[in-house]
């Protein structure tokens, strides 16, 4: 949704993996001047177009100041650390991922703003059923990232039940994009592999060949976020933490798909024990029927379509002619 009644949208983490594609999509949909981008980082002079504010989400007054000055009616809260880096720096991850969310929810409550909050397949753990993972199931994650995601889901539910705050969210799987690169995530291999394939026809993967995880192409994720925020509230039984997925594959299967376009593409493996352990605690494939039922979730990209588009877009971006098998 837009901010409602002419109010603006604030995107936190706007320079991150999702934020850098969400901001242009929201501006396209609701108007260039209706969306304020924010991040803890400050873009180089002249490198960013449109409204931008530097905001550290661990500082509630900084969020309050921007929300009041710009008359913000909806916050898309994307500022967070991903799983591997959160595991390296658990104290900071708690402060950013959960403290930041708490601050955003409080400021939204005080200013009557709606909130979008991304959860993740990381909110599940080793005791969760891994195939057809239900919408409502056991959630006992073992990573700090997962702990903050489950706690965040509960906090969002609490703010809706207790204060009537319109907070909605998705459990996103690994996201693949040719625009901004992720950093410090367990599913990052599925992005890195394309850059290395286009540049060098070779990739060394940090997950083992048979590690199956849910994934999604970024255009579907952006559409899903906007679609959920525009959904009629009366249809939403869950509101928050919807399972969503578009495809699932292993590194070996993704390499096979890339080889259909780059015949000499080679993959080898140097498994990172931290990220391997995290991935083995996550689902293979979630059941996203609640999202399909309640707000018509319907992703467009499967493995073949995503791979073809990634190779074409990266070929153009890296100025490497797309090769054909």
Indicate whether 187 belongs to the interface with ligand SER (CB under 6 A): yes
Residue from 3, 13, 73, 122 binding ligand SER (CB under 6 A): 122
In angstroms, the CA 204 to CA 251 distance is: 10
185 class by beta-carbon count within 10 Å (0-12 exposed, 13-18 middle, 19+ buried) = buried
The smaller minimum CB distance to ligand SER, of residues 185 and 251, is found at 185
Are 207 and 252 spatial neighbours (Cβ–Cβ below 8 Å)? no
Strand partners, 174: 215
What is the DSSP pairing of strand 213-217 with strand 247-249? antiparallel
In angstroms, the CA 145 to CA 277 distance is: 13
In angstroms, give the least distance from the CB of 183 to ligand SER: 10
In angstroms, the CA 176 to CA 141 distance is: 23
The smaller minimum CB distance to ligand SER, of residues 26 and 215, is found at 215
Q: Which entry of 145, 189, 217, 301 is annotated as an active-site residue?
A: 145
b (16+ CB within 10 A) / e for 285-299: bbbbebbeebbebeb
Indicate whether 97 belongs to the interface with ligand SER (CB under 6 A): no
The smaller minimum CB distance to ligand SER, of residues 83 and 133, is found at 83
Indicate whether 120 belongs to the interface with ligand SER (CB under 6 A): yes
Judged by CB under 6 A, the chain residues 33 through 52 that form the site for ligand SER are: none
The smaller minimum CB distance to ligand SER, of residues 30 and 269, is found at 269
Paired tokens of 10: 């604030």
Nearest residue to ligand SER, by Cβ distance, number only = 185
In angstroms, the CA 267 to CA 167 distance is: 42
In angstroms, give the least distance from the CB of 282 to ligand SER: 8
Judged by CB under 6 A, the chain residues 197 through 226 that form the site for ligand SER are: none
Q: Which stretch binds ligand SER (CB under 6 A): 120-128, 199-207, 248-256, 291-299?
A: 120-128
Are 118 and 169 spatial neighbours (Cβ–Cβ below 8 Å)? yes
Are 140 and 125 spatial neighbours (Cβ–Cβ below 8 Å)? yes
Indicate whether 83 belongs to the interface with ligand SER (CB under 6 A): yes
Judged by CB under 6 A, the chain residues 140 through 159 that form the site for ligand SER are: 145
Indicate whether 174 belongs to the interface with ligand SER (CB under 6 A): yes
The smaller minimum CB distance to ligand SER, of residues 34 and 120, is found at 120
In angstroms, the CA 216 to CA 243 distance is: 12
Indicate whether 185 belongs to the interface with ligand SER (CB under 6 A): yes
Residue from 38, 186, 281, 285 binding ligand SER (CB under 6 A): 186
136 class by beta-carbon count within 10 Å (0-12 exposed, 13-18 middle, 19+ buried) = exposed
The smaller minimum CB distance to ligand SER, of residues 25 and 274, is found at 274
145 is catalytic: yes
Counting residues that bind ligand SER (by CB under 6 A) gives: 11
Are 12 and 78 spatial neighbours (Cβ–Cβ below 8 Å)? yes
Residues marked active site are found at 145
Give the footprint of ligand SER on this chain (CB under 6 A).
Answer: 82-83, 120-122, 145, 172, 174, 185-187
């Amino acid at each position: 949704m837009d901010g409602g009644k002419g109010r603006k949208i604030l995107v936190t983490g706007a320079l991150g993996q999702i934020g850098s594609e969400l901001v242009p999509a929201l501006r396209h949909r609701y108007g260039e001047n209706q969306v304020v981008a924010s991040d803890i980082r400050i873009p180089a002079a002249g490198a960013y177009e449109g409204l931008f504010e530097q905001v550290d989400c661990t500082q509630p007054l900084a969020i309050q100041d921007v929300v009041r000055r710009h008359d913000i009616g909806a916050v898309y809260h994307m500022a967070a650390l991903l799983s591997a880096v959160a595991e390296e720096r658990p104290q900071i991850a708690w402060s950013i991922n959960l403290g930041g969310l708490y601050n955003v929810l409080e400021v939204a409550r005080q200013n009557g703003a709606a909130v979008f909050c991304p959860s993740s397949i990381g909110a599940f753990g080793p005791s969760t059923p891994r195939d057809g993972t239900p919408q409502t199931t056991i959630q006992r994650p073992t990573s700090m990232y997962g702990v903050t995601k489950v706690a965040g889901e509960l906090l969002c539910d609490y703010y809706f039940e207790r204060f009537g705050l319109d907070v909605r969210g998705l459990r996103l799987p690994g996201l693949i994009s040719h625009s901004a690169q992720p950093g410090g995530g367990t599913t990052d291999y599925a992005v890195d592999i394309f850059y290395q394939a286009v540049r060098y026809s070779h990739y060394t993967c940090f997950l083992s060949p048979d590690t199956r995880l849910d994934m999604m192409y970024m255009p579907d994720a952006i559409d899903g976020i906007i679609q959920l925020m525009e959904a009629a509230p009366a249809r939403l039984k869950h509101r928050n933490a919807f399972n969503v997925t578009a495809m699932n594959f292993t590194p070996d299967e993704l390499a096979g798909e890339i080889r259909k376009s780059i015949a000499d593409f080679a993959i080898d493996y140097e498994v990172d024990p931290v990220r391997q352990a995290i991935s083995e605690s996550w689902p293979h494939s979630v059941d996203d029927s609640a999202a399909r039922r309640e707000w018509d979730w319907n992703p467009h990209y499967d493995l073949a379509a995503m791979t073809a588009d990634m190779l074409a877009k990266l070929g153009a971006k890296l100025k490497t002619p797309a090769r054909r098998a």
